[in-house]
Structure 1
Amino acid sequence: MVDVHALAATLDEAAREVKAIPKLTERTPFDVPAAYAVQRVGVERRRRRGERLAGVKMGFTSRAKMLQMGVDDLIWGLLTDGMLAESSVDVSRLIHPRVEPEIAYLIGREVRSPAEVETAVAGVAVGFEVLDSRYRDFDFTLPDVIADNASAARFGFGSWHAPRDLSNVGLLMEIDGRPVQAGSSAAILGDPARSLRAAARLALGAGMTLEPGWIVLAGAATAAVPLPKDAHVRVTGAGLGSVEVTT
């Protein structure tokens, strides 16, 4: 039987000690349901330290990534207020951080079914996510990355705008004024609204509801790039303004 508490403690300690570890499945094989159990225990450890749930992040939101990992559905992780980066990210507290542009949704009321999630959106914004796998060399299997809270580390977002069609929003990410990634929100399952609906479906399937004030990060619009020290990152979304963060 898999000791989900021991596995969660191993990942939590790796994050707190800023120490990369071998993937867990090398010594303890486990499946996807067990991986999500590890994830929930890991997030609960953060909550016991005073952090509050702040939302959901989606992963594997491109068909290419699904094929690469041999899956036919998205994965998801949980966000806490301790992950929110309002103006800066201390990369010395991260193992090998990478940053990617995101579309963010603000939930305005409790979501009781995937069919009602779009009408529950109170705002949309351009955002970013900082990924930081706790595994050595970013090397993991599907259960490993799910257990590791889908590589969640930090996130941020710009000003909120009224809900609108986000199926083809141009996104540009710059580091120190130099463009490093450009793409469209269409790369997120063809329309990030599909990812939003999946967030509601997966959360409800796990016995959770999307709560008022929570953020849903719909997934990456481009590949992630390494996030260096002493850098200035700006992500701009057409019609959505921009968000900036320093390291």
Structure 2
Amino acid sequence: MLGIAERLDTAVTTATATPQLEQPLTLAEAYEVQAALLNRRYQRGEKRIGLKMGFTSRAKMVQMGVEGMIWGRLTDRMLVEDGGDIDFSTYVHPRVEPEIAFILKAPLMGSVTPAAALAAVGGVAPALEIIDSRYKDFKFSLTDVVADNSSSSSFVVGAWSDPAQDISNLGMILEIDGVARQIGSSAAILGHPLRSLVAAARLAEAAGEPLQAGSVVMAGGATAAEALAPGQHVRLVVQNLGRVEFNVK
């Protein structure tokens, strides 16, 4: 497992594609690799600040040819300032997807109800995740993706809003250079983004890393992802929540 983690870590740090894993992994083994991969990054000074959910919409499952949710870790060095820039050369196959983000004001652990999850939320915001599979030709299995930190690479979060508002069915428009490329709804995220937060609490606790106050949780893509290219301006507008954006350099 450590050898696979080292290989994937090298792919990330050098922005170089690596072949699909030769040896089949169980899902549990893939998460062991992911943990080892992130431990290498923690040893270099990165700090875990949250969790991202993946494959929480039917559109993403269809696009990636998989079934079922996955998750990955977020670190402080993955956070991009709203309106800031990303360097295209530091990615392998960067794509962007529109999301809803939560920030917790209290710990959230184990099996919880949506009401309990909402009570622990300090804010909700429009968000963009830059996913980046490190595998050659963008070909991989479900366990390959999980081992690769569920393709998590960078994320951008907009202004935080009152979590008490209804976020069950908010219109979402993903624009690239002012042109709408994906139009969807927050309802595509498991029917309600709070269900993704409930799942995140359960999965994080099971992994021995329960969500703490201050944790950021990315609820998962509401639409299929869009490929990125240098020179682009990316913006997400979410009904009632506002906008979030970044530039590709």
TM-score (norm 2): 0.93
Distance in 2 separating the partners of 1:34 and 1:209: 20
Q: Determine if contact 1:108/1:212 at 8 Å carries over to the other structure.
A: yes
Deviation at 1:114, TM superposition (A): 3.4
Aligned to 2:243: 242
Query: 105-114 or 127-136: which moved more?
Result: 105-114
Q: What SS does structure 2 have at the residue aligned with 1:114? A: coil
Unaligned runs of 5+ residues in structure 2 are none
Percent identity among equivalent residues?
Answer: 49
Distance in 2 separating the partners of 1:235 and 1:189: 20
1:14 aligns with 2:21: no
Query: 211-220 or 59-68: which moved more?
Result: 59-68
Q: 1:35 aligns with which of 22, 30, 43?
A: 30
Q: Determine if contact 1:118/1:197 at 8 Å carries over to the other structure.
A: no
Q: Residue 131 and residue 57 in structure 1: after superposition, are their counterparts in 2 closer, same or farther (change >3 A)?
A: same
Distance in 2 separating the partners of 1:118 and 1:171: 21
1:93 aligns with 2:90: yes
Task: Tell me the matched-pair count.
Answer: 241
Q: What SS does structure 2 have at the residue aligned with 1:172? A: strand
Q: Determine if contact 2:117/2:194 at 8 Å carries over to the other structure.
A: no
Q: Residue 35 and residue 84 in structure 1: after superposition, are their counterparts in 2 closer, same or farther (change >3 A)?
A: same
Q: Determine if contact 2:59/2:224 at 8 Å carries over to the other structure.
A: no
Aligned to 1:211: 212
Aligned to 1:152: 152
Runs of 4+ in structure 1 off by over 3 angstroms are 63-71
Aligned to 1:74: 69
Q: Residue 228 and residue 81 in structure 1: after superposition, are their counterparts in 2 closer, same or farther (change >3 A)?
A: same
Q: What SS does structure 1 have at the residue aligned with 2:200? A: helix
Q: What SS does structure 1 have at the residue aligned with 2:167? A: coil
Aligned to 1:187: 188
1:224 aligns with 2:221: no
Q: What SS does structure 1 have at the residue aligned with 2:182? A: strand
Map 1:154-173; keep pairs closer than 5 Å.
154-163=154-163, 164-173=165-174
Distance in 2 separating the partners of 1:243 and 1:64: 21
Amino acid at match of 2:166: D
Q: Determine if contact 2:110/2:206 at 8 Å carries over to the other structure.
A: no
TM-score (norm 1): 0.94
Distance in 2 separating the partners of 1:239 and 1:29: 44
Deviation at 1:180, TM superposition (A): 1.1
Aligned to 1:23: 20
Amino acid at match of 1:107: L
Deviation at 1:64, TM superposition (A): 5.8
Amino acid at match of 1:79: L
Deviation at 1:113, TM superposition (A): 3.1
1:60 aligns with 2:61: no
